[in-house]
Amino acid sequence: MTSPNRLSFARPDDGALDALWMPFTANRHFKASPRLLATAEGMSYTTPEGHRILDGTAGLWCVNAGHGRREIADAIHRQACALDYASTFQVGHSGAFSLARRLAALLPGDLDRVFFTNSGSEAVDTALKIAIAYHQRRGEGQRTRLIGRERGYHGVGFGGVTVGGVVANRRDFGPLLPGADHLPHTYDRNRQAFSRGQPDWGGHRAEALERLVALHGASTIAAVIVEPVATSAGVLAPPVGYLERLRGICDAHGILLIFDEVVSGFGRMGAPFAAERFNVLPDMVVCAKGLTNGVVPMGAVAVRRPIHDHFMQGPDTAVELFHGYTYSGHPVAAAAGHATLDIYEREGLLSRVSLIADQWADAVHALRGSPHVADIRSIGLVAGIDIEPAAGRAAPGAFDVFTRCFERGLLVRAAGDCITLSPPLIVQSAEIAQITGILAEVLASF
Ligand SMILES: Cc1ncc(COP(=O)(O)O)c(C=O)c1O
């Protein structure tokens, strides 16, 4: 008998795939011609048929140290045997405290109070709730408005979708949270095409925050949330001066600034966090993914100490924040987090990208001139390639490029019209060449 977790996929028409409603997936298309992964090691997956698939996306922007890291698996096993579960409501266990302390040490400035969640989406919603509750505590309970940005992605909770700026993620879900607004995105192809690193043009787009302040009144705005580098919606690096300007306007009006570093954190931009790389200190940092190398779900919100301390008033037996998850600071996730940070430290992965970013940019920008390439943007160890019809040729969608890459042994990500790349931080020169080589072949094949 086939054991329930070892289904045979030899005949996908036998209904073996039907019960699972896959997230962010064209389910019927997938189930008609599945792309299944069976094992993973280092920079690659292997399919059930034994084909190697080079991981050009670090799983889903999360496997920063590469796959199959034995130390993480061992740490999880040891932890599950020693203490499988303990809540962090009213009781505690050492792993969550020590991981919070370690994470705080990686973050710049006084971002040294940490709240654990299980995902980026939960961490985003947690940060938004902390922002509103903070203003309540300060006697400014009317500050409830949340400002996001067009083309921003902040997960799929109602808070994150409300401040997010990807229309497909918003349009089917009703009015979302009331009172939110959005900054314009920072992209203008005419002025920024084929940018490496931060585009020179566009810093002034932060001034749109002044317009929202004038429109709504600063006293109604709780927080602004942005990804320092927008990634899921097509890799948009912050124009020179943009984040600094946002920080200045927030300061001038008492608005909290939240950086969503779910992707940009843990070394992807060449520093532990993008806040350090761009030298702009937000009031909160949201992270997840690379925190545990993607092995066990975990997210976190780091909060500047004065914000945290505002909550630590009144009777010391009173709960300060009525918020938390059954699995906040889960012992097994905390063990995975420690083992992951050990690897990052030992292998210098949190700064490695600063050494290879130029090589990465040279390789991906060499695709300029390939058929259907309308723009290429790169920063740190990410890149976005906009796909468009080329003269006289049938137009592939980014999804077509994705499927042909998979058939040729490369995992990329299709996001709208953009192919995004974000390999594990351990990527070597030969693998960079393979990634861009397969992409060049695929682009020429339409
Ligand atoms: C910037 C950003 N924020 C939040 C999220 C949501 O994280 P999760 O999918 O873990 O909920 C993501 C996921 O890709 C992300 O890229």
Candidate from 169, 263, 292 with most ligand 1 atoms within 8 A of CB, to mutate: 263
Q: Based on the domain organization, do 150 and 193 belong to the same domain?
A: yes
Q: Are 444 and 404 in contact (CB under 8 A)?
A: no
259 Cβ closer than 6 Å to some ligand 1 atom: no
What are the tens digits of pLDDT across the range 245-297?
999 999 999 999 999 999 999 999 999 999 999 999 999 999 999 999 999 99
Query: In this structure, is residue 5 part of a structural domain?
Result: no
What are the tens digits of pLDDT across the range 213-239?
999 999 999 999 999 999 999 999 999
**Number of domains the chain contains:** 2
Task: Using the 3D structure, point to which of 314, 347, 380 is the last residue of a domain.
Answer: 347
User: Which residue, by CA, sits nearest to atom 13 of ligand 1?
Assistant: 155
- The one-character DSSP state at 301 is E
Task: Using the 3D structure, point to which of 325, 347, 369 is the last residue of a domain.
Answer: 347
Instruction: Categorise residue 47: left if φ over 0, alpha if ψ from -120 to 50, beta otherwise.
Output: beta
Angle between helices 349-365 and 331-347 (to 10 degrees): 70
pTM above 0.95, yes or no: yes
Structure confidence at residue 3 (pLDDT): 40
Q: Are 333 and 404 in contact (CB under 8 A)?
A: no
Q: Based on the domain organization, do 190 and 290 belong to the same domain?
A: yes
Query: In this structure, is residue 9 part of a structural domain?
Result: no
Instruction: Categorise residue 215: left if φ over 0, alpha if ψ from -120 to 50, beta otherwise.
Output: alpha
Structure confidence at residue 12 (pLDDT): 53
For residue 273, the one-letter residue type is F
Name residue, tokens 């940005």: 149
Q: Are 291 and 299 in contact (CB under 8 A)?
A: yes
> What spacing in Å lies between the alpha carbon of 318 and ligand 1's midpoint?
32
* 3-state percent breakdown (helix, strand, coil) of the chain, nearest 5: 40, 15, 45
> What spacing in Å lies between the alpha carbon of 294 and ligand 1's midpoint?
12
260 Cβ closer than 6 Å to some ligand 1 atom: yes
Query: In this structure, is residue 103 part of a structural domain?
Result: yes
Residue 6 has pLDDT above 50, yes or no: no
Q: Based on the domain organization, do 48 and 96 belong to the same domain?
A: no
Structure confidence at residue 1 (pLDDT): 36
Rounded CA gap, 397 and 83, in Å?
Answer: 48
Query: In this structure, is residue 334 part of a structural domain?
Result: yes
Query: In this structure, is residue 25 part of a structural domain?
Result: no
Q: Based on the domain organization, do 56 and 194 belong to the same domain?
A: no
What percent of the chain lies above the pLDDT cut of 90? 94
Structure confidence at residue 157 (pLDDT): 98
User: Which residue, by CA, sits nearest to atom 3 of ligand 1?
Assistant: 154
Query: In this structure, is residue 171 part of a structural domain?
Result: yes
User: Which residue, by CA, sits nearest to atom 8 of ligand 1?
Assistant: 120
297 Cα nearest atom in ligand 1? 10
> What spacing in Å lies between the alpha carbon of 139 and ligand 1's midpoint?
32
Q: Based on the domain organization, do 311 and 193 belong to the same domain?
A: yes
Cα first-last separation, the chain: 44
Q: Based on the domain organization, do 339 and 431 belong to the same domain?
A: no
CATH, residue 59? 3.90.1150.10
230 Cα nearest atom in ligand 1? 1
Q: Are 441 and 422 in contact (CB under 8 A)?
A: no
E runs forming strands in 122-205: 145-149, 181-183
What percent of the chain lies above the pLDDT cut of 70? 97
Rounded CA gap, 256 and 97, in Å?
Answer: 26
What are the tens digits of pLDDT across the range 110-136?
999 999 999 999 999 999 999 999 999
Candidate from 25, 116, 153 with most ligand 1 atoms within 8 A of CB, to mutate: 153
Query: In this structure, is residue 295 part of a structural domain?
Result: yes
Residue 163 has pLDDT above 80, yes or no: yes
> What spacing in Å lies between the alpha carbon of 440 and ligand 1's midpoint?
29
Candidate from 57, 122, 154 with most ligand 1 atoms within 8 A of CB, to mutate: 154
> What spacing in Å lies between the alpha carbon of 121 and ligand 1's midpoint?
6
Which residues, in sequence order, are CB contacts of 236 under 8 Å at separation 6+? 151, 185, 186, 187, 229, 230, 377, 384
Rounded CA gap, 403 and 400, in Å?
Answer: 5
Q: Based on the domain organization, do 286 and 150 belong to the same domain?
A: yes
- Determine the structural domain holding residue 269 and report its residue range: 72-347
Q: Based on the domain organization, do 343 and 380 belong to the same domain?
A: no
Residue 2 has pLDDT above 90, yes or no: no
What are the tens digits of pLDDT across the range 188-201?
999 999 999 999 99
Of the given ranges (149-163, 313-327, 378-392), which has the lowest mean pLDDT?
378-392
- State whether residue 268 is helix, strand or coil: coil
Q: Based on the domain organization, do 309 and 380 belong to the same domain?
A: no
What are the tens digits of pLDDT across the range 366-378?
999 999 999 999 9
What strands, in cross-sheet order, belong to the sheet with 44-46?
39-41, 44-46, 52-55, 410-411
Query: What's the Cα-to-Cα distance from 342 to each of 52, 67, 71, 146, 384, rounded to whole Å?
Result: 28, 15, 9, 36, 30
> What spacing in Å lies between the alpha carbon of 393 and ligand 1's midpoint?
35
Structure confidence at residue 7 (pLDDT): 45
232 Cα nearest atom in ligand 1? 16
Averaged pLDDT score across all residues of the chain: 96
> What spacing in Å lies between the alpha carbon of 120 and ligand 1's midpoint?
4
> What spacing in Å lies between the alpha carbon of 249 and ligand 1's midpoint?
26
Q: Based on the domain organization, do 62 and 92 belong to the same domain?
A: no
What are the tens digits of pLDDT across the range 80-99?
999 999 999 999 999 999 99
Structure confidence at residue 14 (pLDDT): 78
E runs forming strands in 135-278: 145-149, 181-183, 221-226, 256-260
Parallel, antiparallel, or unpaired: how do β-strands 52-55 and 44-46 relate? antiparallel
Residue 439 has pLDDT above 80, yes or no: yes
Query: In this structure, is residue 11 part of a structural domain?
Result: no
CATH, residue 231? 3.40.640.10
Q: Are 53 and 313 in contact (CB under 8 A)?
A: no
> What spacing in Å lies between the alpha carbon of 232 and ligand 1's midpoint?
8
Rounded CA gap, 176 and 432, in Å?
Answer: 41
Q: Based on the domain organization, do 41 and 76 belong to the same domain?
A: no
Rounded CA gap, 351 and 254, in Å?
Answer: 33
Query: What's the Cα-to-Cα distance from 191 to each of 29, 50, 230, 369, 375, rounded to whole Å?
Result: 37, 45, 18, 18, 11
Q: Based on the domain organization, do 140 and 86 belong to the same domain?
A: yes
In this prediction, residue 396 has a pLDDT band, given cuts at 50, 70 and 90, of confident
Residue 395 has pLDDT above 80, yes or no: no
Which residues, in sequence order, are CB contacts of 123 under 8 Å at separation 6+? 117, 155, 262, 286, 287, 288, 299, 300, 301
288 Cβ closer than 6 Å to some ligand 1 atom: yes
Residue 10 has pLDDT above 70, yes or no: no
Task: Using the 3D structure, point to which of 347, 368, 400 is the last residue of a domain.
Answer: 347
Structure confidence at residue 392 (pLDDT): 72
Rounded CA gap, 416 and 153, in Å?
Answer: 13
Candidate from 25, 166, 232 with most ligand 1 atoms within 8 A of CB, to mutate: 232
Query: What's the Cα-to-Cα distance from 143 to each of 139, 204, 245, 254, 353, rounded to whole Å?
Result: 9, 25, 21, 10, 39
Residues facing residue 259 across a β-bridge: 226, 285
E runs forming strands in 179-334: 181-183, 221-226, 256-260, 284-287, 299-304
